[in-house]
A and B are shown apart, each in its own frame.
Chain A
């Protein structure tokens, strides 16, 4: 851990990081565009220049070197002394900002980046209020560079982060810089649009409004959005994300820095596949079959009804006839509440892991890399918590079986009561499953959409989308990652955790943290989940 002196204050830096990174981590706000910790260093924007003490060539006496050095390209060394707060450095920042703004249009009011734009922030903090440019501005064309992304090249500051991303992380290299000097532009090669599984990240790393997401285009101004720290449920990689919503509508998902899991990135599938959250066909109310009649009971009646029906059934058929299918879409807390509740009624009940959707092979980025060199992996398990549910079933012990065996045993009449949790956005349930499961005398379906299974069920409970719940997912690497609620459940529905909490006989409000505490008493693995705050080591 080398110690360096920035503006007279000694700070401890991590080994091998650039001075800029050390300064940012110590809380200083140093302007920079081209530097991104996840990409190679080009030192082209010249905004982060600093003064540095070097030995005089003849006298070997340490003194401030007359020239400025790019702090992003200078690695930290023990005892080095640099400064940012000087006239020379500030004059450079001001000049750079003026150059960046020469041809930049004044269209902040209609630009989607406004509010989270680093050109805005830096010109406010480090730039000048007036422009001396009175020539006609150069207007570069707007380009449709891919099916999901637009490029407004007149807003571009040529930091080339997007080009480096396409080359180094996505590995597809669709983007390039054409022309030179003042006429330089970002472009795609003819006939090769920006279309890879990670391309959404170029919009995130663009410090200005040059690259825009077509999906989010014109939807909201960013200052209306509220961010909820969440975990992507798209696959078992478990990327940390931020759910940006306004007035209970999710507008976009953004990656959060999560070292070792997704670093700074997320894939397009995860980024754009949240639309089902606002599908009007979602189940909104609990439903109950009383004889031939279908009834919509009040939420307050549900715990008693569920308990009564299960108790009746167990008295008649015995505890071994009960099976609980825990979906890998469930949070650990919800699965635990449900599993322990059923076990409290029938200790010999079977707990099993539900359908695990698998699509193709794991996708690794950069494209064509070896498994060990992968910077990002999209898992082929399209559910967030297979590992967590498995761990839980293992910890709780007792009777369990494979999902295929469950269907068979239902068909054979071995299981006569089943609680089947779904919650999959698509591809669920299969016809065969429905055919065997509907033989059950008591079927509870907990699902997000109406399907054949919910049609057959005695009790239907609405499952909420992950943005409406809170809890934790265990990713493929075994890391337990908590996520928080971003929006309220749809009208009439309640969070899965809340009704399971009540069904299990608890009073008050469910919270992931509260249930994790209850779990930690029995299972040590859940003790220190919340003690891993994800602090961004980088500002944009």
Chain B
């Protein structure tokens, strides 16, 4: 077969060679970058970034052309562009292709992945400039970009799963980038193992899909499964099961309760990695998976309730932990958990578009915040403890300003990006009848403002707690690091307004409506005008009010502008809420619970099984082996190695045969 052929179910009119080349270049360019950097990056020394960054910039250009074609021109129609590259597994009834699909959802994902990816690459030029392993770092980053683009472009579940595991591998490699540090190596292992738990569910979900409809192609699955349910070929619980299994995978990758424990530890990796993988792209894969599978989830409202509950619980839990952490990156990690919880809550209530909207804005402002924190860490010479920062506002002004934009954005202060997406999530959950999600979400919004300005206050305002030796050498980061910060800050500031205004009817809604309208119709969510001077306006005011209140609370305790921080007030509050403080500081004791459940209890079970294995199973096997060996050892005595012993044997045999012959003949 020809190498490039359009999938048969593609829109009428052949897929043009240009579009195919564009889609393929998205995959191939980072792969080439990875290969070249891995092969010759070491020889490039301080310029190891050249190939990798060039590859990603080209990838970004290709992605933007594709996004333009998809979203602004609408060149591929509602069904999107489908490119069949290769029949990967043609095994009888089981056929899986290497096929890529680009629709509006993929295009929106491409915006985040390609843009943040490119900016992180550029940022890393400065951040990793003095690391001897930078060629390895850039090779891994390229590999990650390849995997992540493969993930959003994949047009069937198996290819998606392959990419899913590839990004997991890259996450493992990059979290453990400083593998000599024991904590980094352990964190990498933890991330990998916790993800495996979710992946078991994902794998089973894929198998269940295949045994049900016999295909893994997205288009066919999303058509055939609901049909099968409608005709009664499968039961409702079957559909719920498939959805929950897929969601299990999403929980692992997107670090939702109870599989969230890996993400904070993953902060052991270099900060650009935290920004790219653990804030802006990879952790969104779970959200993407659920959004992509929206036709399935729409048939299983019970599963959606689970999604919403897990999401909103993760949101409030992570926010409460973020209150007390002192490691700047860990605060941001818990903040990421919390925001991902928002997205799942939105998916769960059926507000798919706000979820993707929040994914987009969060990708920008959380990437910004992480890169900013990297700049801070860089400035104070690899110190991550916020108790040893403070007063950095004037010293690193660009970082401060950009991070302030990011903090305001995540807190949901209008007119920054986070305001639009978060408000949409909250408003939709209330209007769709999930008042409990809305209520908890409001509380989380309050908490978000507080912990973000706690972070800002402890880092940038008030008296300096920086190590006196480091103090005089604090400096602003190089241009390669500040430029991405500024770009992301601008994006965080305007992307919400540009895409999300007017409310619930912005450009983004126009783009994504075709992807989700089927699911929304199934759920009965469609319709309803936006009432600025009715329910929607009220909700908007409430959510904005709590966000501002959160920020003000943070300002009151930790200072901002002219206000001094109030450590005594913080201390008093801490004293009054001692148990709650300890609970939050101990991260709800999840690591300890896991230790008890899996390490201790699981260890006991494993040890019992081990005993059985050693004594019963191995005993049997070894018994047989010992029997063989001892009989062999006995027989071995015959083999003396002396020729004449053997010759005697021959003579004796000859005699016996001759005598026997004589006896037989003479009888």
Are A and B physically bound partners? no
Question: Taking beta carbons and an 8 Å cutoff, which residues of B are in contact with A?
Answer: none
Which A positions have Cβ atoms within 8 angstroms of B? none
